[in-house]
Amino acid sequence: MRQGRACAGRPIAPERLRLYAFLTSACYEEHEAYFPTTSARYLEYAYFRESSPQEVLGFWENTLGLVRRGAAPAEMGLYVHWPFCVSRCSFCFCSMRVPGGGAEAAGYLRGLVEEMRFFSPVLRGAPLRSVYIGGGTPTHISCGQLDVLFGAIRGSFTVAPDAEVYIESSPATLTPAKMERLRRLGVTRVTLGVQSLDQRVLEAANRPQSLAGAEKAFRLIADKGDVLADVDLMLGLQGQSEASFLRDFIRVLRWGPHDLRVYAFDPRRSTAFARSGKTLSAGKRREERDLADVLDQIAAMSGYRNASLDLDDPACLCTITRQCNRARSQGASVLGIGPSAVSHAFGSAWYYQPFRRGEVWGPPSYAALESPVEEEMRGYCIRHLATYGGVAFRGFRGLFGRELRDVGQVWRALEDLEASGKVHIGDEGVASLMRGDRADMLVHLKHLYSGRVVSAMLKASGRTPSDFAAAGGRERAGVLAKVADKRTPAILRMYYDAERPRPVPGGARP
């Protein structure tokens, strides 16, 4: 680290921080956005604008032009969404449906194939380094349909010989015949959603599954040693005690999955749990956090290294971030196929297909947000500060061919973060000092957002900067109460504290 360097930035003004706090809660809770890039939620679907198939094709043409000029990573991923499931688990927030009959899934599959063919002429030449089939439950489909799906993937695109091919699965849908078919089709990794092994918890969650069935499904994947077997567990489910969760955790550790991910139940509005009017107490969240330390220790003691226990980081749920480490660290391009799939055409745009729960599948419609290269640079810094603890100058130079210091606005924003005590700028990179609470981190990272993203967020929240500055405290409190995210109380506290009229000496009103 450099010695004696004077900080050139200025601390971020409290008014800006209040604006970022407002944006964080408004755009998240109002629209139940996912967050395709990072835990810092750099981009949220809430403020994407309407787009069209032709336009998204143009995004890809532009991105491939950047790749040819060496200005975008050549890495490409494919995500395909299969929304159907045997039943709806009450905890689940995924874009899923229980199909009305076989015709619905067959029609949806035809739509996926058509969409892949639509992109094929432009993207066939770009080798896919990873393919991820998520859901829903992709192994809900028949062996014949798996053939059609993989035939369309391989027929429309160039899957690199060393590509990782992932699929999500569940104990209720994985049969020996399907597993064999997946092997033949070149699947390299299966994530088995186990969630819980406690019969009472499973019943309360409306999830038909048994302990023996879950272990059998795991063995089907893992026993031949040629396919990586991952397991997902959930913590904080209805009726789940600490003891019941720990039993499951230890049992699954003994199975020896390649990756074991523990997700804290997130009671978003799309879950049957939230729609039935139930809420999760803050106390329960605290207990979960305490338990996370215990889990870390158990995993470490058993020598198991691949447990991901960051219970406070819902970004790890996003399939793009799971897709492959390189895509994850670089924000490389990913083509998403099917409703709810998110696409990232590096240097051009982020876009996705809205998932219309309960509607008949129609032709693809898209919502997009432009992402020129400078936007990618901001996203890169945010992602690295939030997820990896810092931005290395070398990595940045390797990806963008420029020194981070020379990217004027981004660099100035980093200097302001340094003046606010949130980062340290050293000789080799920018280290995050944001060790405080998560809400504080999110608010500060928003300082790296571009004007374009901030105005898109304000537009989506129905506010303008002058509304924000001029509106009376009560009205603002009303807006916030409407969008209040119970999971980010610290953000609200910051806002309310800032808004509460301060006592004036002598008792006079301001």
Question: What's phi and psi for 172, nearest 5 deg?
Answer: -75, -15
Cβ–Cβ < 8 Å for 261, 308: yes
Instruction: State yes or no: residue 263 binds ligand SAM (CB under 6 A).
Output: yes
- Look up residue 140 and give its two tokens: 């809900």
Stretch that binds ligand SF4, among 4-12, 86-94, 147-155, 277-285 (CB under 6 A): 86-94
Nearer to ligand SF4, 88 or 438 (CB): 88
Selection from ligand SAM, ligand SF4, none that 67 binds (CB < 5 to 8 A by kind) is none
- In the list 89, 295, 309, 448, the residue contacting ligand SF4 (rule: CB under 6 A) is 89
Contact pick of 24, 39, 90, 137 for ligand SAM (by CB under 6 A): 137
- First-residue to last-residue Cα distance in the chain: 47
Q: What angle do CA 182, 184, 187 make, to 5 degrees?
A: 45
3-state helix, strand and coil shares in percent for the chain, rounded to the nearest 5: 50, 15, 35
The β-bridge partners of 429 are 392
Measured at the CA of 380, the angle between CA 164 and CA 337, to 5 degrees, comes to 45
Helix (H) or strand (E) holding 121: helix 102-123
Stretch that binds ligand SAM, among 134-142, 330-338, 478-486, 492-500 (CB under 6 A): 134-142
Q: Which does 232 bind (CB under 5 to 8 A by kind): ligand SF4, ligand SAM, none?
A: ligand SAM
Touching ligand SAM, residues 163-202 (CB under 6 A): 168, 170, 193, 195
- Residues of this chain, 303-322, that bind ligand SAM according to CB under 6 A: 317
Structure tokens at 470: 């001029």
- Which of the listed partners (ligand SF4, ligand SAM, none) does 429 bind, with a CB threshold of 5 to 8 Å by partner kind? none
Tokens of 195: 């969630």
One character per residue 168-187, x = contact with ligand SF4 (rule: CB under 6 A): --x-----------------
Neighbouring CB atoms inside 10 A of 241's CB total 11
Residue positions counted in the chain: 510
81: helix, strand or coil: strand
Question: Residue 314, interface with ligand SF4 (CB under 6 A)?
Answer: no
With contact defined as beta carbons under 8 Å apart, do 323 and 130 qualify? yes
From residue 94 to residue 123, what is the string marking binding to ligand SF4 with x (rule CB under 6 A)?
x-x---------------------------
Contact assessment for residue 444 and residue 40, using Cβ atoms and an 8 Å cutoff: no
Tell me if 236 contacts ligand SF4 by CB under 6 A. no
What are the backbone dihedrals phi and psi of residue 14, each rounded to the nearest 5 degrees, phi first? -55, -35
Closest CB to ligand SF4 among residues 73, 193 = 193
Indicate the DSSP class of residue 164.
E
Q: Rounded CA gap, 106 and 174, in Å?
A: 19
* Dist. CA 46–CA 70, nearest whole Å: 31
**CB closer to ligand SAM out of 193 and 429:** 193
Decide whether 79 or 91 has the Cβ nearer to ligand SAM.
91
Task: Work out what residue 396 binds among ligand SAM, ligand SF4, none; the CB cut-off runs from 5 to 8 Å by kind.
Answer: none
Distance, in Å, from the CA atom of 242 to the CA atom of 245, rounded to the nearest integer, reads: 5
Tell me the window of 120-128, 131-139, 323-331, 480-488 that interacts with ligand SAM (CB under 6 A).
131-139
Q: Is 136 in the site for ligand SF4 (CB under 6 A)?
A: yes
| Residue (265 or 352) nearer to ligand SAM, CB | 265
Q: Which is nearer to ligand SAM, 85 or 410 (CB)?
A: 85
Q: Which of 91, 245, 366, 396 binds ligand SAM (CB under 6 A)?
A: 91
Q: Rule CB under 6 A: is residue 235 a binding residue for ligand SF4?
A: no
Q: Which residues bind ligand SAM (CB under 6 A)?
A: 85, 91-94, 134-135, 137, 168, 170, 193, 195, 232, 234, 263, 265-266, 271, 317
